[in-house]
């Protein structure tokens, strides 16, 4: 359904990505989709396809430059080697700028590592109009959430050992402090409950989170 595209980062360097578009929608709203720590794999391409089917122009920037893994240790290594600020302010922003050429509004959605980058994008990418983060929280030193000026949605797992409920509560407190428009949803599930290929997949929680995500995006991007 989708295709490989190349777009420019703000610094002029090229970045590749997976692009999926709705059947009738050159001017449809755009969505930057941010990968989990596994890389730009078939599962995250499927998320872009799903958004395209819902009427969005979806673009997944290839943050790992072609590397994909099924191994958690290697995924952790790839994630640890990623410059999060560069990924947010260059790869993700470049993707948003690419979509903005045709789309009036552009949102961002990300999962796991991509969920943390989604919150960073809400802070650092002025082209983004709404952000939906799935089980990802950036480190406190990465930026100031009180400065966010767009609506933020979060989906978090109460059994999450990576991004703990305490870190989620701390992020939400910052958003409240900054009067940021936000809605946080918590699910009695494990980290990465929305990945249908993973061991912690929870179909009921995923269905609910997706419905909430699509409602949120339609409200703020259409």
Strand bridging mode 182-187 / 3-8: unpaired
Over 60-100, what HEC string results?
A: EECCCCCCECCCHHHHHHHHHCCCHHHHHHHHHHHHHHHHH
Q: Stretch 190-219: mean pLDDT, rounded?
A: 98
Quick one: pLDDT band at residue 35, thresholds 50, 70, 90? very high
Q: Note every long-range contact of 213-217, with CB atoms under 8 Å and residues 24 or more positions apart, other chains counting.
A: 213/109, 213/132, 213/134, 213/153, 213/155, 214/54, 216/130, 216/132, 216/151, 216/153, 216/183, 217/29, 217/31, 217/56, 217/107, 217/109, 217/130, 217/132
pLDDT at 154: 98
* pTM, full prediction: 0.98
Instruction: Note the pLDDT tens digit of each residue in 8-19.
Output: 999 999 999 999
| CATH superfamily ID and name for 3-221 | Alpha/Beta hydrolase fold, catalytic domain (3.40.50.1820)
């Amino acid at each position: 359904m989708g295709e490989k595209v190349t777009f420019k980062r703000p610094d002029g360097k090229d970045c590749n990505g997976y692009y999926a578009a709705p059947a009738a929608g050159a001017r449809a709203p755009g969505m930057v989709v941010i990968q989990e720590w596994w890389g730009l794999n078939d599962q995250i391409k499927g998320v872009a396809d799903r958004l395209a089917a819902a009427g969005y122009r979806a673009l997944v920037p290839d943050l790992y430059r072609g590397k994909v893994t099924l191994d958690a240790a290697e995924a952790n290594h790839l994630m640890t080697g990623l410059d999060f600020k560069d990924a947010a302010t260059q790869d993700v922003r470049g993707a948003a700028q690419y979509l903005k050429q045709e789309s009036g509004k552009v949102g961002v959605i990300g999962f796991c590592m991509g969920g943390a980058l989604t919150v960073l994008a809400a802070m650092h990418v002025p082209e983004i109009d709404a952000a939906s983060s799935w089980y990802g929280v950036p480190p406190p030193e990465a930026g100031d959430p009180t400065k966010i000026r767009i609506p933020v949605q979060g989906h978090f797992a109460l059994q999450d050992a990576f991004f703990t409920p305490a870190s989620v509560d701390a992020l939400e407190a910052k958003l409240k402090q900054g009067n940021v428009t936000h809605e946080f949803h918590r699910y009695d599930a494990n980290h990465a409950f929305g990945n249908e290929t993973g061991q912690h997949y929870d179909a009921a929680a995923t269905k609910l989170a997706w419905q909430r995500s699509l409602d949120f995006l339609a409200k703020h991007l259409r």
